[in-house]
Amino acid sequence: MLLPYPPSANRMWRHVRGRVVPSADAERWQREAAWRAQAAGVRSTSSDVAVALVLHPRLTAKGRPSRQRLDLDNIIKPTLDALQGTAYDNDRQVVRIGAEVGEGLPGGGLTVRIEVR
């Protein structure tokens, strides 16, 4: 399934009254990710899963992948959290994770593949 390009790690969390909470951008992205997973027919499982992520950089005006892209490690946790309750009951069920940078897309994106183990 193709998810929207995630927000940067710097925009994922906010400090509020001594607590760290998800930002409005993060909550919006996570809701959209869960909705797209459901629309793609993804159903929650109680089995262990493997998750493969492909980050698609945004294309520049010249049609080239932008050099400014998220670090791969900064997309893993927010994605796993967003799919909890939609693709699996708890992100502890994720027993394998793979991540890579793929081809650029207009607006960018994140391809997620989930395999029940």
3-state secondary structure of 61: coil
pLDDT at 13 over 90: no
Q: Which residue has the higher pLDDT, 113 or 74?
A: 113
pLDDT at 100 over 90: yes
Q: Which residue has the higher pLDDT, 65 or 49?
A: 49
Separation between Cα atoms, residue 14 and residue 23, nearest integer Å: 6
Q: In degrees rounded to 5, what are phi and psi of residue 108?
A: 75, 180
Cβ atoms of 65 and 72 closer than 8 Å: no
pLDDT score at 17: 92
Does domain 2-116 fall under CATH 2.20.70.10? My reply is no
pLDDT mean over 79-96: 95
Separation between Cα atoms, residue 101 and residue 40, nearest integer Å: 22
Q: How confident is the model at residue 111 (pLDDT cuts 50, 70, 90)?
A: very high
